[in-house]
């Protein structure tokens, strides 16, 4: 291996790191956006409910908005999952332990770790789309 190969290999891995950091930043931005939208949609739901005629309540519009929130929550969950994955670990859907990204099963409880695009992933709860787990772990 020549010195040039070493230099090339090093700069390649630096490039990959930079690219990864950009992707992480991008994902974080998207997650923040979805979270903001959810707050806005919740406010909209509240206002619509407030302005509703008490004698003629039609919740269909509210249901559409609730579905919108659910879609965004799922989107956030998926992005959180990718985010963890990019940082080299995943979160166990069962016990919430951090699992090495290469592992298919959780080291602490033995649960199978689904891939982000697997259908069962969509049923997973508690991947932290609340306020926690975005800021820490830098």
CA 99 to chain centre: 16
Q: How far is the CB of 96 from Zn ion (least distance, A)?
A: 7
- 106 CB contacts (<8 Å, ≥6 apart)? 92, 94, 95, 97, 99, 112, 113
95 binds Zn ion (CB under 5 A): yes
112 beta partners: 105
Of 94, 121, 128, 133, the one binding Zn ion (CB under 5 A) is 94
Q: How far apart are CA 88 and CA 100, in angstroms?
A: 6
Total residues interacting with Zn ion, rule: CB under 5 A: 8
When asked if residue 6 is in the footprint of Zn ion (CB under 5 A), the reply is no
Within 63-92, the residues that bind Zn ion by CB under 5 A are 92
Q: Which residues contact 71 (CB under 8 A, 6 or more apart)?
A: none
Of 45 and 93, nearer to Zn ion (C-beta) is 93
Which of 109, 115, 117, 123 binds Zn ion (CB under 5 A)? It is: 109
For residues 81 and 90, the answer to whether their CB atoms sit within 8 Å is yes
Minimal distance, residue 79 CB to Zn ion, in Å? 21
Q: Which stretch binds Zn ion (CB under 5 A): 17-25, 39-47, 67-75, 107-115?
A: 107-115
Q: Which residues bind Zn ion (CB under 5 A)?
A: 92, 94-95, 97, 106, 108-109, 111
């Amino acid at each position: 291996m020549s010195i040039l190969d070493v230099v090339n290999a090093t700069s390649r891995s630096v490039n990959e790191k930079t690219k990864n950091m950009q992707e992480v930043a991008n994902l974080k931005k998207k997650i923040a956006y979805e979270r903001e939208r959810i707050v806005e949609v919740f406010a909209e739901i509240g206002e619509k409910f407030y302005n509703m005629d008490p004698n003629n309540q039609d919740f269909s519009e509210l249901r559409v908005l609730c579905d919108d929130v659910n879609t965004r929550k799922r989107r956030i969950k998926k992005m959180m999952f990718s985010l963890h994955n990019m940082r080299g670990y995943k979160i166990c859907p069962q016990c919430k332990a951090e699992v090495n990204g290469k592992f298919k099963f959780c080291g602490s409880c033995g649960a199978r770790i689904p891939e982000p695009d697997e259908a069962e992933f969509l049923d997973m709860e508690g991947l932290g789309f609340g306020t926690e787990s975005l800021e820490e772990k830098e």
